[in-house]
Structure 1
Amino acid sequence: MNIEEISFQIILNGGNARSLAMEAIELAKKEEFESANQKIDQANEALSIAHRYQTDLVQGEARGEKVDIRILLIHAQDHLMNAMTVIDLAKEIIQIYSKVNEIK
């Protein structure tokens, strides 16, 4: 797999992970906490796939393989890091909505 294909896989799966996390927040707003947590699980699965592609690149470079740094790869890394952040925040937001729901 070439660097462009790897980059697109990271973008695709990172973007999917972010979208699923945002869907989880929307479900939590509607007090659908089980569904929200299922979306977080799906987001984590997509994130895991994206992260595996990134890890393969890092391990290849550690073995001495040359990795061409391209704007597309930088863009892919942005998607991955954004997804990680949104998932972490979504988990916190879901907990907050859940606690507020318990208080009501």
Structure 2
Amino acid sequence: MEDEKNLEAIMGLIMNAGNAKSDAMEAIQAAKTGDFEAADAKMKDANQSLVLAHHSQTGMLTQEAQGTHVPVTLLTVHSQDHLMTAIAFCDLAKELIDIYRRIDEK
């Protein structure tokens, strides 16, 4: 049962982090065409996906803190990699959107 919960959390991390990165990429593309309303909406979606991914991660961290060891598998490492990449990508997307916004204002 515990393995099933861990797998669910891991897959939640991968799925939601992937969604966040995808939404952030779409936000950049929207900003590139001057559609800042769509860019802002996509970044909002990306941030919501990151929150969901963090909930999955927090569940595993809580389990570990309560003394139930979470096995570190290649899939676990992969999920963490997805999350960290998505966070970095979203941070960069915000900066790119800001640059496109400034260019558009001139």
Pick the TM interval, shorter chain. over 0.9
Give the TM-score taking structure 2 as reference length: 0.94
Give the TM-score taking structure 1 as reference length: 0.95
Find the aligned partners of 2:5 and 2:61 in 1 and give their Cα distance: 14
1:9 to 9, 12, 16: 12
Are 2:9 and 2:59, in contact at CA under 8 Å, matched by a contact in 1? Answer: no
Deviation at 1:63, TM superposition (A): 1.1
Which segments of structure 1 move beyond 2 Å, counting only runs of 4 or more?
none
- Partner of residue 31, structure 1: 34
**For residues 10-69 of structure 1, what are the alpha-carbon distances to aligned partners after superposition, in whole Å with 9 as ceiling and x for unaligned?**
100100000000000000000000110100000000111011000111111111111111
Deviation at 1:2, TM superposition (A): 2.3
1:53 to 52, 56, 63: 56
Matched-pair identity in %: 45
User: Which structure 2 residue ranges, 5 or more long, are not aligned?
Assistant: none
Find the aligned partners of 1:55 and 1:7 in 2 and give their Cα distance: 11
Which deviates more from structure 2 when the two are superposed, residues 25-34 or residues 56-65? 56-65
1:98 to 98, 101, 104: 101
User: Which structure 1 residue ranges, 5 or more long, are not aligned?
Assistant: none
Amino acid at match of 1:4: L
Instruction: Report how many residues are paired.
Output: 103
